[in-house]
């Protein structure tokens, strides 16, 4: 019997910011809420099942409107791991991932201003924007 392979071209239509910070997730969410004037809310942890690896349980905060969504995810997984597991292993020095949906095509949205605002948070050491097309484990962000 011949094997068939399904090839899917996924469009990653969101912005990704990586944040390095020693802040607890609830404190970082609170700071982001204050700076961006939004209301990130703690949601149920996302369970990501990886082939041949232990499941990842990722802490998840969400702000959602009719046209936009902001998600704050913890990059490091917790649970029954002997060593830390990461949502995006190639970014293992990044503590949190901020995903912005619905902002990438907005002419009035200033990405540089957002980065400066995030860098101004006391306790945030580093902020970097990443292109989802270059990340090897970008499929982990689709749930």
The pLDDT score that the predictor gives to residue 25 is 92
- Look-up of token digits 């068939």: 4
pLDDT bin (cut points 50, 70, 90) of residue 109 is: confident
The pLDDT score that the predictor gives to residue 87 is 80
Q: Which CATH architecture group holds 14-141?
A: 2-Layer Sandwich (3.30)
C-alpha–C-alpha distance, residues 44 and 141, integer Å: 16
C-alpha–C-alpha distance, residues 97 and 130, integer Å: 10
Structural contact between residues 97 and 17, judged by C-beta atoms closer than 8 angstroms = yes
Q: What percent of the chain has pLDDT over 70?
A: 79
Average pLDDT over residues 64-74: 90
C-alpha–C-alpha distance, residues 21 and 19, integer Å: 6
Count of helix runs (H) and strand runs (E) in the chain: 2, 8
Question: Which pair of structure tokens corresponds to residue 124?
Answer: 């945030």
Average pLDDT over residues 34-63: 84
Q: Give the predicted TM-score (pTM) of the model.
A: 0.82
pLDDT for residue 74 is more than 80: yes
């Amino acid at each position: 019997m011949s094997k068939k392979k399904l090839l899917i071209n996924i469009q990653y239509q969101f912005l990704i910011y990586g944040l390095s910070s020693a802040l607890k997730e609830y404190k970082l969410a609170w700071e982001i809420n204050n700076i961006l004037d939004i209301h990130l809310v703690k949601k149920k942890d996302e369970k990501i099942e990886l082939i041949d690896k232990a499941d990842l349980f990722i802490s998840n905060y969400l702000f959602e409107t009719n046209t936009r969504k902001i998600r704050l995810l913890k990059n490091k997984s917790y649970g029954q791991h002997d060593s830390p597991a990461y949502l995006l292993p190639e970014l293992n020095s990044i503590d949190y991932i901020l995903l912005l949906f619905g902002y990438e095509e907005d002419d009035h949205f200033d990405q540089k201003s957002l980065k400066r605002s995030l860098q101004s948070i006391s306790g945030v050491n580093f902020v970097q924007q990443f292109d989802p097309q270059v990340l090897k484990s970008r499929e982990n962000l689709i749930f």
